[in-house]
Amino acid sequence: MNYFRAFVDDLELKELYMHGRRFTWSNERDNPTLTKIDRVLVSVDWDLANPDCFLQALGTNVSDHPPLHLCTQAMCTPKQRFRFEVFWTKLDGFEAAVREAWVCDEAIVDPFKRLDALFRNAAMSLQSWGQRKTGNIKVRLAVANWVILRLEQAQEARTLTADELWLWRTLKMTVLGLASLERTIARQRSRIRWLGAGDANTRLFQAVANGRRTKNYIAHVKEGDNIITEQQQK
- DSSP-assigned states of every residue in 34-74: EE-----EE-HHHHHH-TT-EEEE---TTSSSPPEEEESS-
Q: What is the pTM of this model?
A: 0.43
User: For each of the chain's 234 residues, which pLDDT tens digit applies?
Assistant: 999 999 998 988 888 888 888 888 888 888 888 898 888 999 888 888 888 888 888 887 778 888 889 988 876 655 667 778 877 887 888 899 999 989 888 888 899 999 999 999 999 898 888 888 777 788 888 899 999 999 999 988 888 899 999 999 999 998 888 888 787 777 766 654 445 544 455 666 677 777 777 778 787 788 888 888 777 787
User: C-alpha distances in angstroms, 111 versus 25, 108, 118, 146?
Assistant: 59, 8, 10, 52
Chain-centre distance for alpha carbon 19: 20
